[in-house]
Amino acid sequence: MQTTSIVSRGTQNTKNYKHMTAEEVKALIRNVPDFPIKGIQFKDITTALDNPEGLKWMRDEIVKRYKDLGITQVVGIESRGFILAPAVAMEIGAGFVPIRKPGKLPAETVEVSYAKEYGTDVIQIHKDALNEKDVVLLHDDILATGGSMAAAIDLVRKLGVKKIYVNCLIELEGLPGRKILAEKGAEVDCLFGIEVDE
Ligand code: AMP
């Protein structure tokens, strides 16, 4: 019978977390070819999230990197940025703020539109969610071309925040995402680098 030190998904409750390496957690991320359209190598993080030790490792790793930076709000980008951002926020003593697609936030919003491969997209944030005293950690699952994170930076800057850090679980290497964000003056840090065609 095959044995493994890693608890597989949904099979048992894990109270005594075993230590995983970054490489072991990275190996949990599933590649789904040709999703949502032909030619895209979709990085599916659900297979790392449903592993109790993988889930905890990712949260702890982000916490370790950002806990001493005076972050006041962790801002998650809809929708996969919502998964770990609140868990991180609670650990580092920050609040959680969502960036959402249009028509979802109930109070007054500010918005940014940005070009996508096909057409444009709009993202919104509550106008009173952040202010000039905030040190913000922007979080999403994947940094690809950098278009959506660049728009998120522009959006939180509209609210006059003091400082912005950017974190993604995965950086798709070979795409210009990191360079585009660096040109915006954002400090970018990702847990895993994966070649875009891998
Ligand atoms: P981008 O604006 O090109 O940096 O794309 C980032 C957003 O698109 C993130 O919110 C990701 O969830 C999603 N995304 C882009 N490429 C992929 C991919 N290969 N696999 C999974 N999600 C992706």
Q: pLDDT for 181-195, tens place per residue?
A: 999 999 999 999 999
Ligand 1 site, residue 41, Cβ cutoff 6 A: yes
Ligand 1 site, residue 171, Cβ cutoff 6 A: no
Ligand 1 site, residue 17, Cβ cutoff 6 A: no
**HEC letters along the chain:** CCCCCCCCCCCCCCCCCCCCCHHHHHHHCEEEECCCCCCCEEEECHHHHCCHHHHHHHHHHHHHHHCCCCCCEEEEECCCHHHHHHHHHHHHCCEEEEEECCCCCCCCEEEEEEECCCCEEEEEEECCCCCCCCEEEEEEEEECCCHHHHHHHHHHHHCCCCEEEEEEEEEEECCCHHHHHHHCCCEEEEEEEEECCC
- Under the banding of pLDDT at 50, 70 and 90, the label for residue 1 is very low
pLDDT, tens only, 142-184:
999 999 999 999 999 999 999 999 999 999 999 999 999 999 9
Q: Domains in the chain: how many in total?
A: 1
Ligand 1 site, residue 76, Cβ cutoff 6 A: no
- In the annotation, is 61 catalytic? no
Question: Does some domain include residue 1?
Answer: no
Q: Which residue(s) pair with 172 in the sheet?
A: 194
Pick the atom of ligand 1 nearest to 146's CA.
Answer: 4
- Round to whole Å and give the CA distance between 169 and 133: 26
- In the annotation, is 171 catalytic? no
Residue 4 has pLDDT above 60, yes or no: no
Ligand 1 site, residue 145, Cβ cutoff 6 A: yes
Question: Does some domain include residue 79?
Answer: yes
Neighbour-count burial for 80-105, b at 16+ CB within 10 Å, e otherwise:
bbbbbbbbbbebbebebbbbbeeeeb
Residue recorded with tokens 């999230």: 49
Domain residue limits at 93: 69-195
CATH code assigned at 118: 3.40.50.2020
pLDDT, tens only, 84-128:
999 999 999 999 999 999 999 999 999 999 998 778 999 999 999
pLDDT, tens only, 49-94:
999 999 999 999 999 999 999 999 999 999 999 999 999 999 999 9
Question: Positive or negative CA dihedral for 126, 132, 136, 140?
Answer: positive
Choosing from 75, 121, 142, 196 the residue with most ligand 1 atoms within 8 A of its CB, the one to mutate for a pocket test is 142
Please tell me the predicted confidence (pLDDT) of residue 16.
Answer: 82
pTM: 0.94
Nearest to 135 by CA among 86, 74, 52: 74
**Residue nearest atom 18 of ligand 1, based on CA coordinates:** 42
Catalytic pick from 53, 80, 171, 178? 80
Question: Does some domain include residue 8?
Answer: no
